[in-house]
Amino acid sequence: MPDNNSPEDDWRTLQPNAEHAIRTLLSKVVSHESPLELFEAYAYAKEVAARAVWARMEMHLPAENSTFRALHAKIHEKLQMEYGGVVPAKLLKVPYGGRTHERLFTLLQEKIGQAVPAEILRITTQDAVHTERRTRELRELGLDVIWYERDEVRVYELRNLELNLSRLPAIVRNNIRKDQYLTENEKKEFLRKSGIPENG
């Protein structure tokens, strides 16, 4: 889809195409067409329907989630209180604050305390490979996100909006480990000063 199109424009364009593709697929199923023709109809319907559903989902999601922003800011505040002055500010940055994580949080928040199929989350990010990793990264922020199998389907659930502050040391440790400009000795020294175990 062109980058300059709004989700509303994309939806208006793709909705009738998706309806036509699905009707065509259904007709192929009912008429017992050859396997190749059935597969071609299926592949086309799957592609067009996925694009249409993504556009509709984009219309549904807010431009910004104030709850997610507030929680992200709270984590940063807690890191500053706990480790400010001990380690440089650049090592106290809070990860996973981009649009992808915010979208995933929004979907989980809408169904808080309920299971959300992984497939719905994949549609939102248009990424079948890394979406579930991005979702699990919310847990690394201290959010109470769990995942499990239900009827052989992987689902995710945001159980509440309380932050698990015991995750804070791991955020700082990961920041220190990933910093390319620190020597190994400097990394160990910052971990020692902050009281964070090297392994954990």
CA-CA distance, 143 to 132, in Å (whole number)? 15
d(CA 34, CA 112): 45
Q: In the beta sheet, which residues pair with residue 157?
A: 146
Instruction: Compute the CA torsion angle 36, 38, 43, 46 (nearest 10 deg).
Output: -170
The residue type of 183 is: T
Q: In degrees rounded to 5, what are phi and psi of residue 104?
A: -60, -45
Sequence-distant (6+) residues with CB within 8 A of 163 are: 71, 74, 75, 78, 141, 142, 143
pLDDT in tens, the chain (200 residues): 445 788 788 888 999 999 999 999 999 889 876 889 999 999 999 999 988 988 888 888 898 999 999 999 999 999 999 999 999 999 999 999 999 999 999 999 999 999 999 998 998 887 878 888 999 999 999 999 999 999 999 999 999 999 999 999 999 999 999 999 999 999 999 999 999 998 87
Strand partners, 190: none
Amino acid present at 8? E
* pTM beyond cutoff 0.85: no
